[in-house]
Amino acid sequence: METVVIIDLGSYASQEIARLVRSCRVYSEIVPGSASAAEIKKKNPIGIIVVNPAPVEDLQALHLDAEILDLGFPIHIQFAQKLDTEKALQEIQGFLTERCRASQDWTMEQFVDNMITAIRRQVGDKKLVCGLSGGVDSSVAAVLVHKAVGDQLTCIFVDHGFMRKNEAEEVVKTFSEFELNLIAVDARDRFMSKVAGVTDPEQKRKLIGTEFIRVFEEEACKLGAVDFLVQGTVYPDVIESGLGQHAVIKSHHNVGGLPENLQFELVEPLRQLFKDEVRQVAQILGLPDTIVQRHPFPGPGLAIRIIGEITAAKLEILREADAIFIEELRKSGWYNKVWQAFAVLTDIRTVGVSNSDRTYDYAVALRAVHSTDGMTARWIQFPYDLLEQVSSRILSEVEGINRVVYDISAKPPATIEWE
């Protein structure tokens, strides 16, 4: 497979450059600026793109292994932090065709065929379990692996109690209609006891991630010998959990939250893909639009959309507010126009008034963004009458909320999720 190596020297543009290369039908891979010439040579790239936070006229001035410049691979005049996407795409296309002589044959159809072969080679005739959440990532991973090995795969859906309104029931119903072996586990009390009193978001993520694995191990023991765990890890998960020059932005439960004594070997068929590529694979595999177009949902679920301590009462408040927001987006035709939309229950309580009485209730924040891979995002400029309708319904229908705000922060500097 032809590969272009993206050397990341700390620029947020690295992920966008990697995506633009792939949009030209050439596979790209990000490596940190600390990568050695030997590590890059092993990948046998057809070209190298250096992405630096600030413009540098001389590649020799960059903090790279000096031997990289002597490998003989074509190297681009690097991109800086501020990116003109249209101009960058033209430059990349020219670089790939004129200097790299790329055949440009990276397609999702080819990926599916190659991955099915790779999965069969990796697992042989052994058994696998998959943590199925119902989101597009885990669903695509499950269907892709099932296509490769059939009944060797058993899917485990763990209801950790942090799902959106009616979501657990919908996941079970949807996948009972597929020819997948599915086990549903009610572990709500178990997870609540783990996060009781916990307020730090990283601790929440890691506790929930570790507990997920423990539930899988217990369920897998009931199935006999199981050697592999299938996960819907995608490339942005890997990047945000510490790839390249960037610090850990947030640990993803399927990357940074795994216990060291994991009893399974991992199968991560989507680990190479950005989110838009995952949706393309979903369509190729014939998944329904309800899954293909489903907004991203974090593994820890509502646990990281409740700022501060998690309680049953807060979960109920957030579920109702979030359900109203999503319902109004669907009714107005906006749902499929945005990348992700959700409500966040803040830990701020504010003074309000209801029926001439003073209230002291929570403020809820609405968040809606447009993105292509989750690495960068811009907030959605909804019509005011839509925001007014959502706010009016939440304030009148959800007890415990007396203030609604709308988050207009871009990523970066903010992240999409609040925690």
The tens digit of pLDDT for each residue in 327-338 reads 999 999 999 999
Average pLDDT over residues 309-338: 97
> In sequence order, what are the beta bridge partners of 363?
403
Question: What does the pLDDT read at residue 59?
Answer: 62
Question: What does the pLDDT read at residue 303?
Answer: 96
Provide, rounded to the nearest whole percent, the portion of the chain with pLDDT above 70: 91
Average pLDDT over residues 68-80: 82
Question: What does the pLDDT read at residue 251?
Answer: 42
The answer on pLDDT for 82 being more than 70 is no
Question: What does the pLDDT read at residue 383?
Answer: 97
Average pLDDT over residues 333-359: 94
Q: What is the four-CA torsion angle of 171, 173, 177, 179, rounded to 10 degrees?
A: 50
Strands annotated E in 123-180: 128-131, 153-159
The answer on pLDDT for 247 being more than 80 is no
The total number of residues written for the chain in this structure: 419
DSSP structural state of residue 373? S
Q: Kindly report which listed range (57-71, 152-166, 242-256, 314-328) carries the lowest average pLDDT score.
A: 242-256
Question: What does the pLDDT read at residue 253?
Answer: 43
Which secondary-structure segment (H or E) carries 27?
strand 27-32
- The better pLDDT of the pair 12, 334 is held by 334
Q: What is the mean pLDDT of the chain?
A: 89
Which secondary-structure segment (H or E) carries 75?
strand 75-79
Q: Identify the top-confidence range among 77-91, 189-203, 247-261.
A: 189-203
Question: What does the pLDDT read at residue 220?
Answer: 81
Strands annotated E in 181-232: 181-186, 228-230
The answer on pLDDT for 310 being more than 60 is yes
Question: What does the pLDDT read at residue 114?
Answer: 95
When pLDDT is cut at 50, 70 and 90, the band that residue 261 belongs to is low
Could you give the CA distance from residue 92 to residue 49 in angstroms, rounded to a whole number? 9
Could you give the CA distance from residue 396 to residue 12 in angstroms, rounded to a whole number? 41
Q: Kindly report which listed range (142-146, 180-184, 206-210, 242-246) carries the lowest average pLDDT score.
A: 242-246
When pLDDT is cut at 50, 70 and 90, the band that residue 242 belongs to is low
Question: What does the pLDDT read at residue 252?
Answer: 44
pLDDT in tens, 275-295: 889 999 999 998 888 888 889
Q: Kindly report which listed range (55-64, 165-174, 207-216, 254-263) carries the lowest average pLDDT score.
A: 254-263
Provide, rounded to the nearest whole percent, the portion of the chain with pLDDT above 90: 66
Question: What does the pLDDT read at residue 259?
Answer: 55
When pLDDT is cut at 50, 70 and 90, the band that residue 172 belongs to is confident
Cis peptide before 300 (omega within 30 of 0): no
User: 222: which residues sit within 8 A by CB, 6+ positions away?
Assistant: none
Question: What does the pLDDT read at residue 276?
Answer: 87
Neighbours of 143 (CB within 10 A): 23
Tokens of 233: 């890890």
Which secondary-structure segment (H or E) carries 221?
helix 201-221
The answer on pLDDT for 257 being more than 60 is no
Packing angle, helices 188-195 and 201-221, rounded to 10: 150
Question: What does the pLDDT read at residue 170?
Answer: 85
The answer on pLDDT for 245 being more than 60 is no
Could you give the CA distance from residue 299 to residue 303 in angstroms, rounded to a whole number? 9
Tokens of 301: 């679920």
Question: Could you give the 3-state DSSP secondary structure of residue 247?
Answer: coil
Could you give the CA distance from residue 216 to residue 214 in angstroms, rounded to a whole number? 5
pLDDT in tens, 42-62: 999 999 998 877 666 666 667
| Residues 134 and 291: beta-carbon distance below 8 Å | yes
In the chain, DSSP finds a helix count (H) and a strand count (E) of 13, 13
pLDDT in tens, 110-141: 999 999 999 999 999 999 999 888 889 999 99
Tokens of 245: 């020059």
Question: What does the pLDDT read at residue 236?
Answer: 84
